[in-house]
Amino acid sequence: MYKSLVLKINRLYSEKAPATGIGLFRLLFGLVTLQEVFFLLYFNHLIFDPIPFLDVEFPMIPFFLWLWAATAFCLAVGYRCQASSIANYLFWLVFVNFTPMQRDFDGGFDLFMTGANFFLIFMPLDRAFAIDGLRRKLRNPFVHYSNYGAETVSALAYHLPVVVCLGFLYFDSAIHKMFAEHWRNGLGAWLPSSMPYYISALDMSWLLNIELLQKAIGYTIIVFQFSFLFLYSRRRFRWLYFLLGLSLHLGITLSFNIYPFGMGMLIFYALVMPFGWYRRIGAWLRAKQAVLTVFYDQQCPLCNRTVLTLNHFDVLRRVDFKPAQIFAADYPALSHLGQQQLMTDLYAVDGQGRVYAGVDTYSQILVAMGYSAPAGWMMRLPLLYGWICKRYRAIADNRQRLVCDASCALPAADAAESSVYQRIFEAEHAIPARSFVHKISKVLLVLILFQLNSSIHYGLLYRLHVDTRQSPLTSMLNSMSNALLMMSHTFLGITPHALYLHDHFEGYDHILAITYLDTDGNERWLPFVDQQGRLLAPNWGRVHSMWANIAVTPNIDELRLKKFVMKVTAFWGTKAGLSLENTQFIIKMKKTRAPFTWEKDLRNNNLSGSWQVIGSARWTGKEIKISLPMDIDAI
């Protein structure tokens, strides 16, 4: 087994792949993190205050969240990738493990993002769609962009995070699913899609009412998860697993209100996409011929840096930049311009032979790029155009020029430190290949051990109700297992993926909502759970998890329910502009059903049930009095 693993790793280590997928993965990971940080900023008082708005225990939380947002933005755009990925990893560690997020507001994907971010640290993040790639070129401004070839990376940089973060996760999840009756009945996707607390605003009833289709989806998920780890990397199957995984996680994102989990999983498919698809899609998107040719002064450092910058963002390659001293004479449209005049401005010629100069050239470049066209059109607005022309003239007329020979084009010494990826994977920095392959094989074996420990501990022993305290030996092994679980759980995000199983839905036959009486005595719904029982946006993701998985469960814990009623009324009451002390909140309950066998129109039946009042809540200063029946489950 070990020999086969070494051979596989050696093959992937030697195989070259386009850097596009890594760059896209980094960009999407940064954006998903950024939206989650903005979510935390919006719900800051609900999540982190002991009593929202009334008892602020962590006033510095918003400051650190804004630091995290800045870090995530830097990671998304690829600015100082090495430092940004490490800082982002530390933010995930701290917020997930040392704040109320860890216990009461689990987003369902926090540990997954932590593990993914761990692998980001070791990936070649600056090779595609990254500001760092531009910074590297700007250190040698007289080297034309055409001298840089297409960036490639080791295929191992794609496969390692996919195997650990997706393959292990899927296999562990499939083990747990085998113990759930509704999953064995092929209804794993159907049941949560029929429960009011878990669905999005998108009405999927027409799909849910096709029994054979729902069972086909359920069994497909199980087969997909069991086989992914072993088959996805094979060339003839990779496209299939890419399309299946993309479809399944897109379905989660659209149909459930746990969209962060769906998006977090979706971004990994930037690494699963077949390498050849990146090449073909790139060739299809890029212009076969430039629609605009721009002429610049090759002896001007500022002009060369401008060209490198504009070309870096011209991802569709629709603009061609050429030194005016060499190529201007080949274009009849520029024949009326003397050499001296050509050096005073940036000139461009489009496909119809029209000539542009100065600010008009920049505007035309932005329009030609396609996605930046609105910025180019805005530059032509009368007042803005006049101001830009003055600024451009002041810079263009005072720029420095160099008398260059061939030495200008020689690359300057690269003072930047090599990244973790370079020191591990690339020959001029790396340890010898044979030694490296064995080291990485041993690391992967350790990761496999961590995952097996989690899957056996929770997926088998826990599910089979094995008592590990029967003997001193099994008790000692259990303690060792728990120690490994704590380490792998915290730093690598390896955790049981027992989501939406029978022990979650069994007995889930009621849901709660909160209304209030306005100043005229009219009953209104708090912007939290609506009349149908759906959690309203933006109360999705980790706020959904707090209410649907912790506060309201098949067996309600009265203390925890009262805690979250307090938090929700204080937060949304304040957000809605209510005077808490003068507002009576009403707690309502509605019956639902969560069967493990298929029923037609279950989603609509669960949404259309009637509500009954079961309690109330009133604030007095910082104290809340909540009246609830002794046993809600018995109602």
- Averages of pLDDT over runs of 10 residues in the chain (635 residues) are 84 91 97 97 96 92 97 97 96 92 84 93 92 93 88 92 95 94 95 95 93 96 97 95 96 92 95 95 91 92 92 94 91 87 89 92 95 94 92 82 54 56 63 72 89 89 81 84 88 87 89 95 95 95 94 91 96 95 95 95 94 95 90 71
Q: What are φ and ψ of residue 12, in 5° steps?
A: -70, -35
Instruction: Report the pLDDT value the prediction gives residue 53, as an integer from 0 to 100.
Output: 95
C-beta of residue 48 within 8 angstroms of C-beta of residue 99 = yes
Instruction: Report the pLDDT value the prediction gives residue 431, as an integer from 0 to 100.
Output: 55
Instruction: Report the pLDDT value the prediction gives residue 408, as an integer from 0 to 100.
Output: 56
Instruction: Report the pLDDT value the prediction gives residue 414, as an integer from 0 to 100.
Output: 47
Structure token pair of residue 203: 């009405």
What is the CATH code for 286-397? 3.40.30
C-alpha closest to that of 13 among 441, 315, 468: 441
Instruction: Report the pLDDT value the prediction gives residue 618, as an integer from 0 to 100.
Output: 96
pLDDT of 414-432, one tens digit each?
444 567 777 776 655 555 5
pLDDT of 103-129, one tens digit each?
889 877 899 999 999 999 999 999 999
CA distance 358 to 341: 12
Task: Identify the helix (H) or strand (E) that includes residue 549.
Answer: none
- What is the reported pTM? 0.92
Instruction: Report the pLDDT value the prediction gives residue 345, as an integer from 0 to 100.
Output: 86
Angle between helices 259-266 and 110-120 (to 10 degrees): 20
C-beta of residue 440 within 8 angstroms of C-beta of residue 432 = no
Q: Could you tell me the residue ranges of all domains in the chain?
A: 286-397, 502-627
Sign of torsion over alpha carbons 351, 352, 358, 359: negative
Instruction: Report the pLDDT value the prediction gives residue 415, as an integer from 0 to 100.
Output: 44
